[in-house]
Structure 1
């Protein structure tokens, strides 16, 4: 279901045809701590496998912010790759974008939306996110790290043609 919401001089949309993939890749691969150096192919694959939200200037349509959600639209969602262009920061667009994600997922009954952040707790808190009650209940699997799960190395766990 494609959805468009208004926020000030911006529109927030889930229409994948409006995404400026090149801009998203530039933002994330050059100006974030979590996706620095991410390849365009990997970014396109991530977009293709996700629910995407873009914020666009009402005048001219330039993309001003982006968020990506990995979800089954039933029980769980992972909010990631949230980015607001520097010129659009400070006016509440990030908070509005995260609220649009929250509101879009609500009718599906998704009962947990998770994310990770080093520096934007205030933005996410305004949309209702709270720190994990007990982080020891959560685990991750990262084949890039040494140890039993990653012993074979990251290349052994990736399908051909991906990076």
Structure 2
């Protein structure tokens, strides 16, 4: 079982929760081009990482993958931003990353895990994920423009400039 700020090694690869190792350029670079976070800015990525349990995948010292879990570490977890860069895919690294996440000491005995995916259903099914059993019970609040700057002269842009974003800090 992996615990906070621990690392596991397999061949030339390491999975670590040590945030000092994370390469923000790699993480932000991948996410800003992904279908699920296209256009996300670096400060938002940084804030997301600071408030999540994160896992980096490394080949030597080079970061080649990532995942984060938004969790209270007691009842709930949301798996997000999972990726392995293209040149390292098809080596079982995503499966290993899921095994490590699933075994993490802080993520045991949670009642509910959620994730959203467009194309990796088969991977996640191997780790117990399934379609929502009661989708009518779930709701979402979605802002498709959240990662786009507010247009100049709008109330949202003016509120942003003076720090009134509605977010708790």
Tell me the TM-score normalised to structure 1 length. Answer: 0.83
* Preserved CA contact (<8 Å) 1:143 1:154: no
After TM superposition, give the deviation of residue 102 of structure 1 in Å.
Answer: 1.2
The 1:110–1:155 alpha-carbon spacing in structure 2 relative to 1, beyond 3 Å, is farther
Equivalent residues of 2:27, 2:66 under 8 A apart:
yes
* 1:16 and 2:19 correspond: yes
The alignment yields a C-alpha RMSD, in angstroms, of 2.7
Matched ranges for 1:5-154 at <5 A? 5-30=8-33, 32-57=34-59, 60-105=60-105, 108-143=108-143
Q: Any unmatched runs of 5+ in structure 2?
A: 146-153
Cα distance between partner residues in 1 of 2:68 and 2:110: 16
User: How far apart are the structure 1 equivalents of 2:7 and 2:81?
Assistant: 19
- Structure 1 residue ranges without an equivalent (≥5): 146-152
CA deviation after TM superposition for structure 1 residue 11, in Å: 0.8
- CA-CA distance at 1:9 after TM superposition: 2.6
Q: CA 1:98/1:154 → structure 2, altered by over 3 Å: closer, same or farther?
A: farther
Query: CA separation of 1:118/1:143 partners in 2, compared to 1, >3 Å: closer, same or farther?
Result: closer
Shift of 1:66: 0.2
Indicate the SS of the match to 2:104.
Answer: helix
Indicate the larger mover: 44-53 or 135-144.
Answer: 135-144
**Per-residue displacement from partner, 1:103-162 (whole Å, max 9, x unpaired)?**
1156642221110001001111122222211212211122558xxxxxxx9949979276
TM-score (norm 2): 0.80
